[in-house]
Copies of this chain bind each other. A is one copy, B any other.
C-alpha cells in the first residue's frame, strides 16, 4: 500500500479507536466509580433515547388529553408483583453484584440480562392489591471469563440466593454493547479494510451489521462468534440496499479478533443509492410527495375509556390486565381478566402471554447467506430492539405511552421511551347486528359498533420492523397480530435485468432493482399463551370436524360434518399441524367449570392466514427452530419453560427447545397448561417491498367458547349522534 494511504488508514484507525472509546463502546466490564442512577443519555445515545425528542409539539394545555408529565422513573416503586424492576431496584442489583465474589474478582464482566424473577405463580394468583408486595427478586444472566452464569438476587435481603453456571450449548442474548462493538471491531483489521477499499467504499461510508451465525458445526463451537457484513451508506440512509455483497467477517465476540474473512463477492457491484432513501425529507420529486388523503383522526371527546393504574395495570371496558416491557419478549401481558356480564365478577382468561421466540430463516445456501437464520428474541432481544414509537403515526392521537426500563451491559438502568402504546381503535366496524329482511317485514334494525383496545410495540431488528399488537374486544376476543414492515435484507448481484439471466439459474429470490435481489425468507413468531380459563387447571380439547357418511336410507343427505371432542391427555396429543382438509377447533377448557346448560367453559385459538416451516428437521437451523415443527403445542406449566428456542439461544444446538420438552409427552389433562401458537409468513419479495415495504399483517384470535352464558355484549348501546364530537380544523380555531 502507498505510504500516504497507509498513513491515512492509520489515522483513520486511531480516529475510529478514539470514537470507539468515547462514543460507541461504553466499556461494560467495570462499573463506573460513582454509579449514577440513570445512564447519561448524551454520551450513551445508542441505547438511550430521550422522551423529549418525540414530545408532542402542541402545548399541553391545548391538548384534550395531555401526555403524562415527564417521567424520569428514578422515583418509581413497584406496585404489583409482576411489575418490572425499577431504576432503583436495578441499581440495587448492580451494587449487590459488584460486591459478589464472582464479579468482585473479575476485571470485566457483562450482564446480559437483569430482569424481574417473577414470583411463583400460585403466590401471584393469591395476591390482591393492598396485600404486601411479594418479595422482589432479580434474575441475572452474566458472563464472566467466558462462562455464563445464572443468578437470582433477593433485592430485599441483598443476597445472591441462586448461582448456577450454564453447561449446555448456547450463549445468552447479546448485549447492546456486544452488537455495537462488534460492528466496529473489523476496522482494526487491515485485511478487512483493504477488502472494503478494494470494493470502492470509503471507510467513512461504512455501515456494518452484527449477524447471528446460528450453529453449523464443530468448528463454530467453543467460543462466542458473530458474523459481520457491511454496506455502503453513501448518499442514502438506506444502506441496507447497498450491500458489499459476499464479504463476511467471522469475529470472536469476546476477544474482538477477526477469525476469518471470506470474500466471495469481488465481482458483484454495490447497488446504487438512487431511489433507496425513504426519509420524507429526501423525497425530492414533487410526485413522490403524495398527498392522497385528507387528515383523519380517531377522536374521543370525553377522553379515552381506559385507565392505567400504577404504570402497568390497564383497565378498559370489561377487561383488566397487566402490561410490561421486557428486553427479550418485547411486551408481556399478564393476569388478563374479563368481567362477566351476569355476575359482574372479573374472570381469569390468561395468566401470561408474550412473544417467546422468532425464527427467520433465509433461503440461500451460499457462503454469505446460509447462516442467516435469525432467532430475534433470544439472540438480539425483541424488547431491546423496540424503538420509541412515533406519536400520531405509530399510534393515533389518543394513545397512552409506556416506557421500558432496562439494564445496560454493566447493569446501569436506562429508559426506552415510548416503547409501548395503548389506544382505543374504531375502524368503523360492526360489533354485532341484526336487521329483519323483507321476508318477515318486521322493521327492526339493531347495530352496535366495534371498539377495541390495542397494546402495541414495534421491534426494529436492524432492517426489519415487527409490529406486535395485542388487541382486546369487548366480546371477550383477544386478537394477536404481527405486522411486518421496514427494509428487506437484500443480496447484491451483477444482474440489472431478468433478461440477463442464463437458463435455470437460481437467484434465491426476486430481482427488485438493478443489482439487488430480495432473498426469499420465512418469518415465524411463536407466542407463549398461558391461558388460565376460570383458573389454572385446564384441559386442551381438539374438536375435530369430520365428515360423517349417512347409512343407506337414513337421509336424502349422503354426508354431513360432525364435531368430535378429544381431550389431549399427554403432550403428543397436542402437537398440532393445521390441515384445511382435516380441520379442528382447538379449545382450552376448564373441565370443572360448566355453563348453566352444561358446556365446559373455554377459550379457543382461531388461526388466521399462516405458514409452516418446510425445512428438514435435521437441518441445523430447523433443529434450533424446532418449535416451528408444529403450529400449536401444549405443555404443562413450568416456570423454566418460557423461551421456545431454549433459555440460551445464541449459537445453541437446539437441545432445549419446545419440541424437545413436548416430546417428553407429559400429562396435560386438567392441569395448569401452556399453549404455544406460531404465526408464520413465507416471504417471496417483490418490487413493492423496495426500498421499504408496506405493512403486511397476519393474526390469530383467542375467542371465548361457551365461556359466557350468552353474548356478553348484547346490552351495549348503539352510537348516537349526540355523543359525537363537534370538530373543526386546528387552523381555523
Q: A237 touches which one: B442, B522, B722 (CB < 8 A)?
A: B442
Q: Measured between alpha carbons, how far is A446 from B342 in the docked complex, in Å?
A: 46
Q: A290 touches which one: B217, B429, B622, B716 (CB < 8 A)?
A: B716
Per-position contact with B for A497-525: 1 when CB-CB < 8 Å, else 0? 11100000010101111100000101000
- Give chain A interface residues in 546-562, CB to chain B under 8 Å: 546-547, 549-550, 554-562
Q: Which residue of B lies closest to A440 (CB)?
A: B207
Q: How far is the CB of A44 from chain B (nearest CB, A)?
A: 10
Q: Measured between alpha carbons, how far is A609 from B583 in the docked complex, in Å?
A: 12
Q: A46-B438, A297-B301, A577-B580 are in contact. List 10 more A-B contacts (CB 8 A).
A: A278-B714, A293-B424, A295-B300, A393-B718, A396-B426, A433-B486, A558-B619, A563-B684, A687-B708, A688-B705
Q: Are B294 and A305 in contact (CB under 8 A)?
A: yes
Q: Which residues of B contact A458 (CB under 8 A)?
A: 430, 433, 435
Q: A725 touches which one: B295, B473, B621 (CB < 8 A)?
A: B295
Q: Which residue of B lies closest to A522 (CB)?
A: B561
With a 10 A CB-CB cut-off, give which of A447, A485, A682 has the most chain B CB atoms: A447
Q: Which residues of B contact A179 (CB under 8 A)?
A: 438-439
Q: Measured between alpha carbons, how far is A698 from B699 in the docked complex, in Å?
A: 11
Q: A365 touches which one: B176, B560, B705, B733 (CB < 8 A)?
A: B560
Q: How far is the CB of A112 from chain B (nearest CB, A)?
A: 15
Q: A341 touches which one: B47, B287, B713, B714 (CB < 8 A)?
A: B287
Q: Which residues of B contact A496 (CB under 8 A)?
A: 597
Q: Are B483 and A430 in contact (CB under 8 A)?
A: yes
Q: Which residues of B contact A351 (CB under 8 A)?
A: none
Q: Which residue of B lies closest to A708 (CB)?
A: B688
Taking A687-B595, A704-B688 as contacts, is the C-beta distance between A486 and B434 under 8 angstroms? yes
Q: Which residues of B contact A193 (CB under 8 A)?
A: none
- Give chain A interface residues in 604-618, CB to chain B under 8 Å: 606-612, 614-616, 618
Q: Which residues of B contact A485 (CB under 8 A)?
A: 430, 432-434
A436 at the interface (CB under 8 A from B): yes
Q: Are B387 and A615 in contact (CB under 8 A)?
A: no
Q: Measured between alpha carbons, how far is A301 from B298 in the docked complex, in Å?
A: 11
Per-position contact with B for A276-311: 1 when CB-CB < 8 Å, else 0? 001110010101111111111111111111000000
- Give chain A interface residues in 19-76, CB to chain B under 8 Å: 24, 45-47, 49, 53-54, 56-58, 62, 64
A626 at the interface (CB under 8 A from B): no
Q: Are B296 and A300 in contact (CB under 8 A)?
A: yes
Q: Measured between alpha carbons, how far is A560 from B363 in the docked complex, in Å?
A: 5
A3 at the interface (CB under 8 A from B): no
Q: Measured between alpha carbons, how far is A449 from B485 in the docked complex, in Å?
A: 12
Q: Which residues of B contact A731 (CB under 8 A)?
A: 722
Q: How far is the CB of A275 from chain B (nearest CB, A)?
A: 7
Q: Measured between alpha carbons, how far is A289 from B716 in the docked complex, in Å?
A: 6
Q: How far is the CB of A76 from chain B (nearest CB, A)?
A: 22
A462 at the interface (CB under 8 A from B): yes
CB pairs A–B below 8 angstroms (19 shown): A45-B441, A47-B438, A183-B439, A216-B557, A280-B446, A290-B716, A294-B300, A301-B730, A302-B729, A370-B555, A393-B448, A425-B428, A434-B486, A437-B461, A475-B688, A508-B562, A513-B710, A559-B614, A726-B728
Taking A299-B725, A714-B283, A728-B725 as contacts, is the C-beta distance between A684 and B585 under 8 angstroms? yes
Q: A426 touches which one: B64, B298, B387, B498 (CB < 8 A)?
A: B298
Q: How far is the CB of A269 from chain B (nearest CB, A)?
A: 14
Q: Which residues of B contact A549 (CB under 8 A)?
A: 616
A723 at the interface (CB under 8 A from B): yes
Q: Are B727 and A710 in contact (CB under 8 A)?
A: no
Q: Which residues of B contact A511 (CB under 8 A)?
A: 597-599
Q: Which residues of B contact A467 (CB under 8 A)?
A: 430, 433
Q: A385 touches which one: B399, B437, B718 (CB < 8 A)?
A: B437
Per-position contact with B for A383-420: 1 when CB-CB < 8 Å, else 0? 01101101011111101000000000000000000000
Q: How far is the CB of A31 from chain B (nearest CB, A)?
A: 20
Q: A428 touches which one: B298, B557, B580 (CB < 8 A)?
A: B298
- Give the contact stretch, choosing among A134-142, A160-168, A665-673, A689-697: A689-697
A465 at the interface (CB under 8 A from B): yes
Q: Are A583 and B611 in contact (CB under 8 A)?
A: yes
Q: Are A299 and B299 in contact (CB under 8 A)?
A: yes
Q: Measured between alpha carbons, how far is A713 from B547 in the docked complex, in Å?
A: 47
Q: Are B577 and A578 in contact (CB under 8 A)?
A: no
Q: Which residues of B contact A445 (CB under 8 A)?
A: 54, 387-388, 390
Q: Which residues of B contact A631 (CB under 8 A)?
A: 580
Taking A387-B435, A423-B428, A545-B684 as contacts, is the C-beta distance between A477 and B694 under 8 angstroms? yes
Q: Measured between alpha carbons, how far is A618 from B549 in the docked complex, in Å?
A: 12
Q: Are A609 and B612 in contact (CB under 8 A)?
A: no
Q: Which residues of B contact A304 (CB under 8 A)?
A: 294
Nearest 6 pairs of A and B residues by beta carbon: A498-B598, A365-B555, A288-B715, A393-B447, A427-B427, A475-B694
A717 at the interface (CB under 8 A from B): yes
- Give chain A interface residues in 463-496, CB to chain B under 8 Å: 465, 467, 473-477, 483, 485-487, 496
Q: Which residues of B contact A361 (CB under 8 A)?
A: 560
Q: Measured between alpha carbons, how far is A18 from B557 in the docked complex, in Å?
A: 40
Q: Which residue of B lies closest to A467 (CB)?
A: B430
A620 at the interface (CB under 8 A from B): yes
A709 at the interface (CB under 8 A from B): yes
Q: A293 touches which one: B341, B451, B557, B615 (CB < 8 A)?
A: B451
Q: Are A394 and B447 in contact (CB under 8 A)?
A: yes
